[in-house]
């Protein structure tokens, strides 16, 4: 499903984010930037050790929840990996929504600062961090849409959703936003 926002395009697709050809891909990282499972494991496996070497050297202090940092992309087709730290879900009254929105905004700020025309994002926080996907989808999409309306870049933001239930949640959230 695609949505035009001015000259920009927001896309929803299913797939594996490590296979994306976009200028930047977003990683669902942890605040120690220590690697892990899910998207993080897949990106470091496919991209090779240079990505972790760079996070260790450039960001030894890690990255707080709701923030993001950028590195090269090693062997991946993308030019950059943007490591975003979404919140761990703990019931919804610990600022999770604001942290999730902030993580996406920081990703897009970094993408624009680094001249990326296309960015691929996973569904931050909805795997190991257990954020309910219906809620996360609404926040993710409304944050990205606001950013595109304000900035008119990057030209393409593509949500790469790993499975059909996650895709369906994002599609339903997008339809709701458009109503
Ligand atoms: N491409 C696209 N989406 C994927 C891929 C992939 N290759 N692999 C998994 N997903 P998660 P989080 C989906 O757990 O919840 C790690 O250990 C997955 O199905 O990757 O933010 C980190 O080191 C789900 O829909 O990220 C952190 O410690 C979504 O990506 C922690 O997990 C996010 O799931 C971060 O947890």
Local confidence band at 4 (pLDDT 50, 70, 90 cut-offs): very high
Tell me the pairing of strands 24-28 and 68-72: unpaired
Query: Which run of H or of E encompasses 7?
Result: none
Across all residues in the chain, what is the average pLDDT?
A: 98
Distance CA 136, CA 18 (A): 21
Q: Which residue has the tokens 């450039």?
A: 58
Residue 105 Cα to ligand 1 middle (Å) = 18
Local confidence band at 88 (pLDDT 50, 70, 90 cut-offs): very high
Can you give the pTM of this predicted structure? 0.98
- Side-chain half-sphere CA neighbours of 173 within 13 A: 23
**Beta-carbon contacts of residue 19 (< 8 Å; ≥ 6 apart):** 77
Nearest-atom number in ligand 1 for the CA of 16 is 1
> Which among 36, 31, 84, 37 has a CA at the least distance from the CA of 60?
31
Nearest-atom number in ligand 1 for the CA of 37 is 17
Q: Is 51 helix (H, G, I), strand (E, B) or coil?
A: helix
Q: Residue 90 has which token pair?
A: 């703990």
**Beta-carbon contacts of residue 57 (< 8 Å; ≥ 6 apart):** none
Alpha-helical (H) ranges within the chain are 38-47, 50-58, 96-113, 133-151, 164-178
Counting ligand 1 atoms within 8 A of each CB, the residue from 20, 96, 122, 169 with the most, and so the one to mutate, is 122
Segment 102-125, tens digit of pLDDT:
999 999 999 999 999 999 999 999
Q: Residue 104 has which token pair?
A: 């996406």
Residue-range domains of the chain with CATH: 2-178 (3.40.220.10)
Segment 122-163, tens digit of pLDDT:
999 999 999 999 999 999 999 999 999 999 999 999 999 999
Query: Whose alpha carbon is nearest atom 12 of ligand 1?
Result: 125
Distance CA 176, CA 179 (A): 5
Residue 57 Cα to ligand 1 middle (Å) = 24
Distance CA 98, CA 123 (A): 15
């Amino acid at each position: 499903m695609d949505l035009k926002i001015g000259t920009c395009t927001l896309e929803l697709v299913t797939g594996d984010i490590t296979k994306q050809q976009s200028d930047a891909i977003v990683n669902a990282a942890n605040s120690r930037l220590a690697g892990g499972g899910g998207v993080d494991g897949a990106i470091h496996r496919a991209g090779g050790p240079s990505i972790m070497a760079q996070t260790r050297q450039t960001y030894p202090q890690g990255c707080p929840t709701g923030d993001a940092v950028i590195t090269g992309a090693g062997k991946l087709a993308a030019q950059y990996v943007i490591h975003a730290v979404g919140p761990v879900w703990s019931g919804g009254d610990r600022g999770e929504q604001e942290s999730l929105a902030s993580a996406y905004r920081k990703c897009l700020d970094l993408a624009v600062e680094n001249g990326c025309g296309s960015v691929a994002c996973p569904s931050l926080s909805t795997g190991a961090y257990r954020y309910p996907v219906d809620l996360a989808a609404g926040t993710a999409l409304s944050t990205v849409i606001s950013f595109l309306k304000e900035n008119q870049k990057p030209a393409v933001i593509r949500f790469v959703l790993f499975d059909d239930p996650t895709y369906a949640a994002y599609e339903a959230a997008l339809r709701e936003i458009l109503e």
